[in-house]
Amino acid sequence: TQLLEQSPQFLSIQEGENLTVYCNSSSVFSSLQWYRQEPGEGPVLLVTVVTGGEVKKLKRLTFQFGDARKDSSLHITAAQPGDTGLYLCAGPNAGGTSYGKLTFGQGTILTVHP
Amino acid sequence: DSGVTQTPKHLITATGQRVTLRCSPRSGDLSVYWYQQSLDQGLQFLIQYYNGEERAKGNILERFSAQQFPDLHSELNLSSLELGDSALYFCASSVAPAGPYEQYFGPGTRLTVT
């Protein structure tokens, strides 16, 4: 069973601070995705990383896929209250007929205080 | 707007009852996934359908069942409801079987069992 562990579980910071969220596994993933979810809403896809060592930027968010494709990180620069939410990493299960089924990490709840 | 629609948005019912949640995937997506999200369990995968066929099962109770119809919409049936079934239920869709298996989530149905 492929598992994804996210850390930290909770993050409470002041506006303007930088932060990093980690997503780790002992398994290799063909790709990893990051989602952001606001209370009462569905998760929204932020980015997909596919190549080991890949770095993708989305405004103040920087996503990195580990060289061995077992881990990923999300770095937010100068966090804003609008970044508040639940951040989830997810990766597709390998093999079998359940293609497309994703394993999700437990999530990181980020609160950015003004 | 992800393009995935779910109805109803909210549902309040009594223990022992049966409800049906409905999901329409994004245009062109053949795979539909159902998830349950509660405060203490995170996002839990229930079941996946691809082009009308069941492809993967997760932590889905025997009291729950789902199907995907020829027009690709899907329904999740929950019966003999218990208080512990109160949760957010999300539907997601993807183009799978091809990678990288990005999923697009609907707005969810909030089920409250009283």
Who among A97, A102, A106 is closest to B101 (CB)?
A102
Which pLDDT score, from 0 to 100, does residue A97 have? 55
Which pLDDT score, from 0 to 100, does residue B100 have? 66
Q: How close does chain B come to A74, measured CA to CA in Å?
A: 17
Average pLDDT of every residue of chain A: 92
For chain B, the residues whose C-beta falls within 8 A of a C-beta of chain A are 2, 4, 31, 33, 42-43, 45, 48, 50, 55-56, 58, 88, 90, 92, 94, 96-97, 99-108, 110
Residue A96 has pLDDT above 70, yes or no: no
Average pLDDT of every residue of chain B: 92
Looking at per-residue pLDDT, the higher value among B95 and A11 belongs to: A11
Which pLDDT score, from 0 to 100, does residue B17 have? 98
Cβ separation A45–B102 shorter than 8 A: yes
User: CA B16 from chain center: how many Å?
Assistant: 20
Stretch among A100-104, B78-82, B98-102 having the lowest mean pLDDT: B98-102
**Identity at B28, one-letter amino acid code:** G
Between the alpha carbon of residue A49 and those of residues A8, A64, B27, B49, B63, the distances in Å are 21, 7, 24, 25, 37
Mark out the alpha helices in A5-113 (DSSP H runs): none
Who among A43, A99, A100 is closest to B105 (CB)?
A43
* DSSP one-letter string for B28-77: T--EEEEEEEETTTEEEEEEEEETTEEEEE-S--TTEEEEE-TTS-EEEE
For residue range A43-64, what is the model confidence (pLDDT) as tens digits?
999 999 999 999 999 999 999 9
User: Cα-flanking dihedrals φ and ψ of residue B11, to 5°?
Assistant: -145, 125
User: Helix (H, G, I), strand (E, B), or coil: what is residue A38?
Assistant: coil
Respond yes or no on whether the N-terminal peptide bond of residue B100 is cis (omega within 30° of 0): yes
For residue range B1-56, what is the model confidence (pLDDT) as tens digits?
889 999 999 999 999 999 999 999 999 999 999 999 987 778 889 999 999 999 88
* Chain B residues in contact with A98 (beta carbon < 8 A): 48, 55-56
